[in-house]
Structure formats: structure tokens, C-alpha cells
Chain A
Amino acid sequence: MPCARRSGGVNFLEARRLVSGLHVGEPLPFLFALSGTAEPFVLYLRAAAAKRGRAADVRLLPFNTLAQAVRRDADPTTIEVFLLMPWDFVPEADWRSGVPESVDEDQVRSQASETARLLARRSGARMLYLPAPLPPLFPDPARGAALARSLESLALGLGAHVLPAEAFALPAYLSGGCPVAGHAIGLVAEAVVEAATAARAEPKKVLVTDLDNVLWRGLIAEDGVEGIAFEPVGVGYRHFVYQSLLRRLRREGTLLAAVSRNDPDVARAPFETGRMLLREADFVAIIASYHAKSAQIRELAQRLNLGFDSFVFVDDNPVEVAEVSLALPGVRCVTFPQHDDAFAAFVNDLASLFPHRVITAEDRERTDLYRRRLEGLGSTDLQGADLTRFLRDLKMTLTIHDRGRGDRTRAVQLINKTNQFNLNGQRVTDEQVRTMLEAGGRLFGAALADRTGNHGEVLTCLVAPDGTIAAFVMSCRVLQRRVEYAFLAWLAGQPTPPVALQWESTARNEPFRQFLSEVAGPLNGGGPVRLEPAAVAARYAQDLALFTVCQT
């Protein structure tokens, strides 16, 4: 019995009008690969292209020759769009052959896998799958249903776009070999042209990952190897899963690299424990320095001789992500999620950037091949992006607390736990601080908030009675936000500004050395470093202007 159906896509007469109305259009040549009768599609394909201002030049396969076509090598200059039917994987399921007397299920599944493997070799092909119902192949209907689901899974594994099953029409297929119903042919043609015109998403080749709070939970320079978490328990679980994804991607041929604002020996220490899933040998480079991450990635790209569009960068810090995005727009930047509920989507999205239909022996050995190209990376002076506009948009508020009064627990704690951005590495007791304050010293704490959230009290500065800064520390979580420059500009603008800093080099405080060199000029060993308050206040006034400053 005939039945009315809902129409989809362009109808026949409208398709004619669209095609006749297109006088000039950019050519869109492509192969439409269908095992059935494809000729009726041509008008609708040309119409769908005309809607996009394109003149479709459609090539078709001869009837029932798709199986032969997939066994030939693909022409890399041709756009191929396959409209796959279940019987392209399992010929026994073709309605036009009737219901088979008997079917060997193992053989059928093996044949389907072989066809999927052949299709997977056509890395540039775009796939559509029409999950038409299967004829009863097995005595047990459940096995037929299971096979149908398996075939759809194979198609999805090829990256196929799955069309609505209602687009299939048995009458049209049996009578004329065209598997698509008249009411759906315009819809299917739209999907085909959409696939033909879609920018070809080239798989990414290099995953550049941050370390602290990404590859592991915690800050290696502050917490040490024993204080970070990367094992499948508690707060380390997410990082274990992330490492396991990277391990698989590396096995599939993705190049892994790490960039971190750390000293090299500190950044490498967790790898040397042998307790992490990932080993140093899994990375083509572990770049630990205090240069801008964009500059590190730029040099990595040059040394690997790969374009920026081959790179994905993962970091938990939105400022680092912005810096790389601004400096290297071709790099795909992905933010490591702060919260567990976004983690599953993050993992899947990240994996989807590195699709591999076929894994070769060369893929597995790629890391070793590239490691040899990268010896000595990360030693040059490198400049990053200008983040001023991004930082302004963060709408940062710096709240400066006078910790000379009231509770100073956090301020003292910060002095005693911070290693990297630390003026001299000196540890202090609360009693020593109290004595200094009673003698006329001053203690400041600074808390940072921005539109991404509240970062808490991140900076402490202890000024001795003689006006020398005795302690100046900041959490490295907020490096790159210019907090240290803004605070120093504010302090230099106070009625009794400090006149020197008690500098000492330590094994870990390279970030502070870089900061102080910029503020006060070249450093000669340890000892007091003079500060010109007026000059500092003027030079870093723009940094201070990035913040709304509150005082308590």
C-alpha cells in the first residue's frame, strides 16, 4: 500500500529550478560512490551544490561496482563521497538477492571487517551510512539485530555520518535499484554535498601538553615528586586517564611533547620515578623553561618541520591557552578541564582530533624518529605573544591586604612553601615575622580574582624596617598575569616605598631571577639589589592598570 511520507530536502521541481538558475558557480567535482542506481541523485546533488553557489560535477560508479572500486587505490586528487548500505559490508544482506538459504555468521562478520579495512585506507574519503533494515539472515532474529548494530559501528568507525533509516525505500530499491525514497532523496543529496564541500579535517600530528595540573595533579616545583598525584586513585585519577589517552595516541603515531614553566631537572623528575604511565621516551621533547609557551611550540614546529595546524596544545591555565592562541592561531588549543563533569567530553574531543583509521609500524616508531631531530631544544631566547588585551578582558581584581595586622597565617605559609617565584628562598617563622613587624616592618598579602574565578591569596611581600624587601613570593599558578609587576608598581607608589630587594639565587628561583633582571637590571651574585621606586612605578603603571586594586 502506498503511504504518505514527510518530505525532506529539495523536491524535484525545486531542484530543477535551482540548477537552471545557477549560471556560474565554482566547480565542485566529486565522485558519488553508491552500489545501487545513482543516476536519479544527480539532479538533487547539483541542486544542493547550486544552493551553495557551486556547480557540481558528479562522477558516478557503474551500477553494482562499489566492491571493486574500494579495492582500487584512491586518487588523492578526487573528492570521494561514499553512500554506504549494509550490503556493501555484507553482500548476503542485499534485498535484491532475496533472503539467503543460510549464512555463515563468522564469514559474514569477517567480510564486513575486510570491507571496512579497505574503506579505511581511503583516508580522504567522506562516508555516509544508510542503516537500511536487513532481511532475516539468521534463524535467531537477535543475531540479525546484533549484526545490524555491528555494521553501523563499523561505519561509525570510518567516521561516517549516519542518515535516518527512513530514507531507505524498499520499493524504489527493488524496482529500480535506487535505495533512497523519493521523499528523502533531496535530504540525502544535501548530506552528500555537505560532505563533499566540508573542509577536510586533517588529523593533528603533535600533542603538546602542559605538565603541572595536567599530566599530574599538583605543582612539581612546589609539591615535589611525592606531593603530586598521577595514579588511579583519588585526585590523581583524571591525570591517570589523561596519561593513558596520551599513551594510546603515541602508540598510534601521534607525537607527544611537553612544555612547562619549570627547571628541566624538576620537570623531568616525575618521569624518573618509573611510576607514571608515560615515560620520557614517549615524548619527542620535554621542554622546561621560562620562555613563553608559544615560542617553545614555534621552535618545536620548526625543528620538526611541521605546520602549526598539525599541533594541539593542552593546558589548564586560560592565560597560557590565550597566549598560544594569540601567537599561533593555527594551533588548536584545548583547555584541560577544571571540573570532573567536563572531563569525559574533554577526553573524547581530544581523541577525535587524532583519528587514525589504520596504524602502521611506522606510526609506532615515529616518536623515536623525531626525537633525534630535537636534541638541544629550548635553549634560545624566545618571545611570546602580547597578552595585554586578553588580560584586560579578564577583568582582574587585586586585593592587597595589610598583613601587619590580624591573621598572617597564609602570608607566612606562602613564603615557606614557594620555590619558584621566590626572592631568596629564605624560610621564616611566625615569630621572626612578628619581631620584624614590631620593629617597623610591613607585611603585604595580595589576592587575585578574575572572571574565571577567585585564585585566593597568591602573593606575599615582607618589607624589613630598613626598607629592604626581605621576602617576595608569588604562586606560580598566576604567572603570566602580570600580578608581580602590578604589585611592585603599587608598592613603589606608596608613601614609603622599598628601596632594595634582598636577592639570593637558589636552585629553583629562576622565574624570580628573570623578573628581577627585568625590573632592576643585570644581577651580580646575591645581596641587596637597589630599586628606583619612581622609575618602577612609572614603568609598570600599565601593568597596574590591568587590575582593579582594592586595599584592606
Chain B
Amino acid sequence: MTDQAETKLQDIVRAALDLPRDADVTTARQTGLEAWDSLAHVSLMLAIESEFALSIDIADQIHLTSYPAIRHYLEEQGV
């Protein structure tokens, strides 16, 4: 993943979860963040689809519950 793409992903996660601009999201997990509820997860998945021009399968959406998982997924997609 390029630095530019990684920066974009971090911006998306912060914005979708309504986190401060300087928040470190690289270790963020759904289980540890109150803001990462089911509705925020829908918005986050749609935001990633929107920014990276992807369509994410349901099976993948269920597992993309942490920043590292999302980052790994995007790398697999060639982002």
C-alpha cells in the first residue's frame, strides 16, 4: 500500500468513526471503540468503497473489524 493510500485510509477511519484528527487509528478495533457501532461500520464500508472504487463482499465486510484487517484487505485488492 502506498503512503498516500495509507494516509487516505486513516483519514477515512477517523472521519467515519468521528475521531479526532490526530487520533492514532492504526491499532483501532471495533471491539475497543464505542463509536464503531454497526451503523458506523456500514458507513465505514461505504466510505472505503467510495474512496477506493471497490465493492466489498458481505463475507469480507464481516471480518473488516479492525484497521489492520482493512489495510490488509486493501493490499490484497491492489490498493
Residues in chain A within 8 A of chain B (CB atoms): 1-7, 11-13, 16, 37, 39-40, 43, 169, 171-172, 174-178, 180-183, 185-186
B62 within 8 A of A: yes
30 contacts between A and B (CB under 8 A): A1-B57, A2-B56, A5-B49, A5-B55, A6-B53, A11-B51, A12-B12, A12-B15, A13-B8, A13-B11, A16-B15, A39-B42, A40-B39, A169-B55, A171-B55, A172-B46, A175-B61, A175-B62, A176-B38, A176-B45, A177-B42, A178-B42, A178-B46, A180-B46, A181-B55, A182-B50, A182-B54, A182-B55, A183-B49, A185-B50
Residues of chain B contacted by A185 (CB below 8 angstroms): 46, 50
Question: Majority SS of interface residues in chain B?
Answer: helix
* Complex CA–CA separation, A176 to B60 (angstroms): 13
Query: How far is the CB of B68 from the nearest CB of chain A, in Å?
Result: 18
Q: Are B41 and A176 in contact (CB under 8 A)?
A: yes
Q: Are B38 and A171 in contact (CB under 8 A)?
A: no
Q: Are A183 and B41 in contact (CB under 8 A)?
A: no
Evaluate whether A2 and B54 lie within 8 angstroms (CB atoms) in the complex, with A12-B15, A13-B11 already known: yes
* Complex CA–CA separation, A175 to B16 (angstroms): 17
Residues of chain B contacted by A180 (CB below 8 angstroms): 46
Q: Which residue of A lies closest to B79 (CB)?
A: A4
B2 within 8 A of A: no
Evaluate whether A4 and B15 lie within 8 angstroms (CB atoms) in the complex, with A37-B42, A182-B46, A182-B47 already known: no
Residues in chain B within 8 A of chain A (CB atoms): 8, 11-12, 15-16, 38-39, 41-43, 45-51, 53-58, 60-62, 77
Residues of chain A contacted by B42 (CB below 8 angstroms): 37, 39-40, 172, 175-178
* Complex CA–CA separation, A1 to B57 (angstroms): 6
Q: Are B57 and A171 in contact (CB under 8 A)?
A: yes
Q: Are A12 and B45 in contact (CB under 8 A)?
A: no
Cβ 8 A contact of A7, one of B47, B53, B77: B53
Q: Are B60 and A2 in contact (CB under 8 A)?
A: yes
Residues of chain A contacted by B46 (CB below 8 angstroms): 12, 40, 172, 176, 178, 180-182, 185
Q: Are B53 and A171 in contact (CB under 8 A)?
A: no
* Complex CA–CA separation, A507 to B57 (angstroms): 83
Q: Are A182 and B15 in contact (CB under 8 A)?
A: no
Query: How far is the CB of A405 from the nearest CB of chain B, in Å?
Result: 80
Cβ 8 A contact of B49, one of A13, A16, A182: A182
| List of 5 A-B pairs having minimum Cβ-Cβ separation, nearest first | A182-B49, A176-B42, A12-B47, A182-B46, A182-B50
Evaluate whether A13 and B55 lie within 8 angstroms (CB atoms) in the complex, with A40-B42, A172-B42, A175-B61 already known: no
Q: Which residue of A lies closest to B60 (CB)?
A: A2
Residues of chain B contacted by A182 (CB below 8 angstroms): 45-50, 54-56
Q: Are B39 and A12 in contact (CB under 8 A)?
A: no
* Complex CA–CA separation, A342 to B62 (angstroms): 57
Residues of chain B contacted by A172 (CB below 8 angstroms): 42, 45-46, 49
Query: How far is the CB of A352 from the nearest CB of chain B, in Å?
Result: 35
Residues of chain A contacted by B12 (CB below 8 angstroms): 12-13
Q: Are B49 and A40 in contact (CB under 8 A)?
A: no
* Complex CA–CA separation, A11 to B48 (angstroms): 9
Query: How far is the CB of B33 from the nearest CB of chain A, in Å?
Result: 17
Q: Which residue of B lies closest to A1 (CB)?
A: B57
Residues of chain B contacted by A181 (CB below 8 angstroms): 46, 49, 55
11 new A-B contacts, CB < 8 A, other than A176-B42, A182-B45, A182-B50, are A2-B57, A7-B50, A11-B50, A12-B47, A171-B61, A172-B46, A172-B49, A175-B61, A177-B42, A182-B56, A185-B50
* Complex CA–CA separation, A259 to B52 (angstroms): 62
Q: Are A13 and B15 in contact (CB under 8 A)?
A: yes
Q: Are B43 and A40 in contact (CB under 8 A)?
A: yes
Residues of chain A contacted by B51 (CB below 8 angstroms): 11-13
* Complex CA–CA separation, A11 to B46 (angstroms): 10
Cβ 8 A contact of A183, one of B38, B43, B53, B57: B53
* Complex CA–CA separation, A171 to B45 (angstroms): 11
* Complex CA–CA separation, A186 to B57 (angstroms): 20
* Complex CA–CA separation, A12 to B61 (angstroms): 18
Residues of chain A contacted by B57 (CB below 8 angstroms): 1-2, 171
Residues of chain B contacted by A11 (CB below 8 angstroms): 50-51
Evaluate whether A171 and B54 lie within 8 angstroms (CB atoms) in the complex, with A176-B41, A176-B45 already known: no
Query: How far is the CB of A94 from the nearest CB of chain B, in Å?
Result: 16
Residues of chain B contacted by A43 (CB below 8 angstroms): 43
* Complex CA–CA separation, A39 to B41 (angstroms): 11
Q: Which residue of A lies closest to B43 (CB)?
A: A40
Q: Which residue of B lies closest to A3 (CB)?
A: B55
Q: Are B43 and A39 in contact (CB under 8 A)?
A: yes
Cβ 8 A contact of B54, one of A5, A174, A175, A178: A5
Q: Are B45 and A175 in contact (CB under 8 A)?
A: yes
Residues of chain A contacted by B38 (CB below 8 angstroms): 176
* Complex CA–CA separation, A434 to B20 (angstroms): 102
Residues of chain A contacted by B8 (CB below 8 angstroms): 13
Q: Are B54 and A12 in contact (CB under 8 A)?
A: no
Task: With a 10 A CB-CB cut-off, give which of B12, B15, B47 has the most chain A CB atoms.
Answer: B47
Q: Are A171 and B56 in contact (CB under 8 A)?
A: yes
Q: Which residue of A lies closest to B8 (CB)?
A: A13
Q: Are B54 and A4 in contact (CB under 8 A)?
A: yes
Q: Are A12 and B16 in contact (CB under 8 A)?
A: yes
Task: With a 10 A CB-CB cut-off, give which of B39, B50, B55, B77 has the most chain A CB atoms.
Answer: B50
Residues of chain A contacted by B54 (CB below 8 angstroms): 2-5, 182-183
